């Protein structure tokens, strides 16, 4: 198994972990307002992480702090728009729209890194975009405010992947992970009074949701993505993350009883095809 293949399998695991967050967050928003929810999620993750990276923090350079702060700010913007958007759309639809990051990532990579995508990546992006169109436009659902906010989240996540690819090789993984989580927690806490009317009701389901989101979906997933993203390209990572809507739809059906129509299922099949084309691009489009 090559280094890139191993890294992409780990990114696939992160995709599975994140897919389950859509119905979990949707349920959690019944007991906490969006920014309160984000704040609690990231503060818990930060408290757990701190003992493991205390010495790393003391050795942090000014450049690492600056870049980590930028990365954390982009991440916060993504989580904010996605979580607020979940109040006004379904969990499965939110996941499908977030998958549009596969369209935006090669654009940001071209603008910021000057790296044009390979032929297989382009075909994969086109196929995934077509599949996502079918998935995000179920009959009669329409386009809501929540959907628009989630498109914004997809933009921020795409920018996050590309910026992470730019800086991750030059800095400590633990330091970047700590900064991402810490900056997101601080921004969420400081913006509470300005962006929403906060509410919080402690319930057993909220405790379970925060436990899963803080430990697995935040601390573990962000560490793994920060560590292993550098072994592949942002475009290939985005295509891997495009599997998230399929997993999220399954979890949403099991936990929230959200249904998918025939067009949505067809879109899922097209997404899988696009994923395979992008992943096998080096073989399928190998020059003689």
Structure tokens at 227: 């560590």
pLDDT computed for residue 131 by the predictor: 78
> Is the separation of the CB atoms in 270 and 49 below 8 Å?
no
Q: Find the domain containing 222 and state its range.
A: 3-284
- Give the helix ranges, DSSP H, for 29-61: 34-58
Q: How far apart are CA 51 and CA 48, in angstroms?
A: 7
CB atoms within 10 A of CB 63: 11
Angle, CA of 231, 232 and 235, to the nearest 5°: 155
Here the tokens at position 176 are 């970047």
Residue 277, token pair as written in the block = 């084309």
Q: Whole-prediction pTM value?
A: 0.82
Give pLDDT, residue 287. Answer: 58
- Distance from C-alpha of 250 to C-alpha of 91, rounded to nearest angstrom: 11
Distance, CA of 288 to CA of 284 (rounded, Å): 11
Q: Is residue 176 within 8 Å of residue 226, measured between CB atoms? A: yes
For position 72, what pLDDT does the model report? 94
Task: Write the DSSP assignment of 49-108 as a string of letters.
Answer: HHHHHHHHHHT--HHHHHHHHHHHHHHHHHHHHHHHHTTSS-HHHHHHHHTTHHHHHHHH
pLDDT of residue 146: 84
User: Per residue of the chain (288 residues), what is the pLDDT tens digit?
Assistant: 788 888 888 988 888 898 888 888 888 888 999 899 999 999 999 999 998 888 888 888 889 999 999 999 999 999 999 988 888 887 777 877 787 787 788 888 888 888 777 777 778 778 877 877 776 665 545 667 888 898 899 899 989 989 988 888 888 888 999 999 999 999 999 988 888 888 899 999 899 999 999 999 999 998 998 888 888 877 777 778 777 777 777 777 777 676 666 776 777 778 767 766 766 666 555 655
DSSP state of 171: S
Q: Determine the pLDDT at residue 269.
A: 75
Write down the number of H helices and E strands in the chain. 16, 0
Pick from 197, 103, 88: nearest CA to 144: 88
Q: What's the rounded Cα separation, in Å, for the pair 222 and 14?
A: 8
CA distance 138 to 260: 8
CB contact at 8 A, 247 and 20: yes
Of 90, 84, 20, 17, nearest in space to 248 by CA: 20
Total number of domains in the chain: 1
pLDDT at 96: 75
- If one counts every other C-beta atom within 10 angstroms of the C-beta of residue 100, the result is 24
State how far the Cα of 168 lies from the Cα of 108, in Å rounded to an integer. 16
pLDDT at 42: 94
Beta bridge partners of 32: 200
pLDDT at 140: 46
Question: Which residue matches tokens 């020059």?
Answer: 287
Give the residue from 199, 153, 161, 147 showing the smallest Cα distance to 39.
199
């Amino acid at each position: 198994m090559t280094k890139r293949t191993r890294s992409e399998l780990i990114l696939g695991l992160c995709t599975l972990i994140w897919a389950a967050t859509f119905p979990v967050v949707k349920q959690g928003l019944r007991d906490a307002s969006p920014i309160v929810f984000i704040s609690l999620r990231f503060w818990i993750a930060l408290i757990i992480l701190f003992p493991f990276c205390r010495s790393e923090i003391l050795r942090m350079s000014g450049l690492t702090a600056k870049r980590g702060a930028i990365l954390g700010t982009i991440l916060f913007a993504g989580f904010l728009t996605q979580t607020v958007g979940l109040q006004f759309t379904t969990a499965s639809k939110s996941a499908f729209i977030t998958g549009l990051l596969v369209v935006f990532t090669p654009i940001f990579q071209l603008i910021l890194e000057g790296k044009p995508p390979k032929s297989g990546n382009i075909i994969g992006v086109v196929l995934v975009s077509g599949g996502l169109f079918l998935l995000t436009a179920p009959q009669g659902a329409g386009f809501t405010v929540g959907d628009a906010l989630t498109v914004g989240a997809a933009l921020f996540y795409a920018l996050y992947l590309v910026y992470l690819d730019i800086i991750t090789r030059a800095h400590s993984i633990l330091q970047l992970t700590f900064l991402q989580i810490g900056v997101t927690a601080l921004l969420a806490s400081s913006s509470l009074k300005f962006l929403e009317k906060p509410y919080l009701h402690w319930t057993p389901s909220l405790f379970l949701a925060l436990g899963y989101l803080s430990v697995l979906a935040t601390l573990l997933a962000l560490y793994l993505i920060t560590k292993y993203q550098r072994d592949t390209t942002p475009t290939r990572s985005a295509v891997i993350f495009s599997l998230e809507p399929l997993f999220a739809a399954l979890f949403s059906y099991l936990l929230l009883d959200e249904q998918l129509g025939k067009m949505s299922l067809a879109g899922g099949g097209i997404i899988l095809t696009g994923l395979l084309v992008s992943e096998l691009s080096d073989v399928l489009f190998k020059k003689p």
